[in-house]
Chain A
Amino acid sequence: MVQVILASQPFDPWKSLQTFQNAMLTVGSYGATAVFVGTMRDFNEGERVESLFLDHYPGMTERELERILREARSQWEFLDALIEHRVGEIEPGEPIVLVAVWCAHRGAAFDACRWIMEALKSRAPFWKKETGPAGVRWVERNTAG
């Protein structure tokens, strides 16, 4: 079971993890859970950032994230995976993205989680627009990693 959630309001990734795990995973079936949480910083490329607007392509964003999870599943044996991603207005300190993968063993969990996150960064149609002291600017590229 894989799930993609786009959240227009702030979300608690730890609560999302627990809720998904309780609902979808069978106790004893998994031995490794790898989790990535991305949180909004108050700086980017040397500039202060006061707030962020996350634009997306409704419909395609969900489809692309589901495609990424399908591709991951064809490369690693994992039981379940969850992606939750914010859209709309975001304040510093708020979580932007959660990627979690449940597997039998740690190798696949770590590798699939990292691969999913990198695929999301390079393929999922989201765009960040930052507001700072100098005004508003679209982020033109991802940080290196």
Chain B
Amino acid sequence: MTIRVRLFASLQEKWRIDQIDLESTGMEKVADVWLNLTGEELPSQVLVAVNMEYARPDTPIKDEDEVAFFPPVTGG
């Protein structure tokens, strides 16, 4: 099972990851992906999206999902 993970803005700079494909066997939810990627718990202020829709840390993931992590948005 493979998923695509994308980071944006300050998170992209901090972790030096733009996008990466991960073998996601053993990962059940969004928070597991972050833990696998960074070795840390998902911070509460980080926003998450699955397949370009807002999701939550406990949102389940499936094969070929695109999981994105980003800081609070500041457009407009």
Taking beta carbons and an 8 Å cutoff, which residues of A are in contact with B?
38, 54-57, 59-60, 63-64, 85, 96-97, 117, 120-129, 138-142
Q: How large is the interface on B (under 10, 10 to 19, 20 to 34, 35 or more residues)?
A: 10 to 19
- Nearest neighbor of A65 in chain B, beta-carbon distance: B75
Answer yes or no: B43 CB below 8 A from chain A CBs.
no
Q: A140 and B73: CB pair below 8 A? A: no
8 contacts between A and B (CB under 8 A): A97-B76, A125-B70, A126-B74, A127-B70, A127-B74, A128-B75, A138-B10, A142-B76
Answer yes or no: B72 CB below 8 A from chain A CBs.
yes
Answer yes or no: B68 CB below 8 A from chain A CBs.
yes
Q: Mark B54-76, 1 if CB is under 8 A from A, else 0.
A: 10000000000000101111111
Q: Could you count the A-B residue pairs with CB atoms below 8 Å apart for me: how many are there?
A: 70
Q: Give complex CA distance A57, B12 in Å.
A: 12
Q: Give chain B residues whose Cβ lies under 8 Å from the Cβ of A140.
A: 71-72, 74
**In the complex, the 3 A-B pairs of residues with the closest C-beta atoms, listed nearest first:** A126-B75, A127-B9, A60-B52
Q: Give chain A residues whose Cβ lies under 8 Å from the Cβ of B9.
A: 55, 127, 129, 138
Q: Give chain A residues whose Cβ lies under 8 Å from the Cβ of B76.
A: 38, 85, 96-97, 117, 120-121, 124, 126, 142
Contacts A55-B8, A57-B68, A138-B9 given: A126-B73 contact, CB under 8 Å?
yes
Q: Mark B1-29, 1 if CB is under 8 A from A, else 0.
A: 00000101110000000000000000000
Q: Give complex CA distance A63, B8 in Å.
A: 17
Q: Give chain B residues whose Cβ lies under 8 Å from the Cβ of A38.
A: 76
Q: Give complex CA distance A125, B9 in Å.
A: 10
Tell me which of A55, A127, A128 has the highest count of chain B C-beta atoms within 10 A of its own C-beta. A127
- Nearest neighbor of B8 in chain A, beta-carbon distance: A57
Answer yes or no: B49 CB below 8 A from chain A CBs.
yes
Q: B75 and A85: CB pair below 8 A? A: yes
A96-B75, A120-B76 are known; give 13 further A-B pairs, CB within 8 A: A117-B76, A121-B73, A125-B8, A125-B49, A125-B70, A125-B75, A126-B76, A127-B8, A127-B10, A127-B74, A138-B74, A139-B74, A141-B72
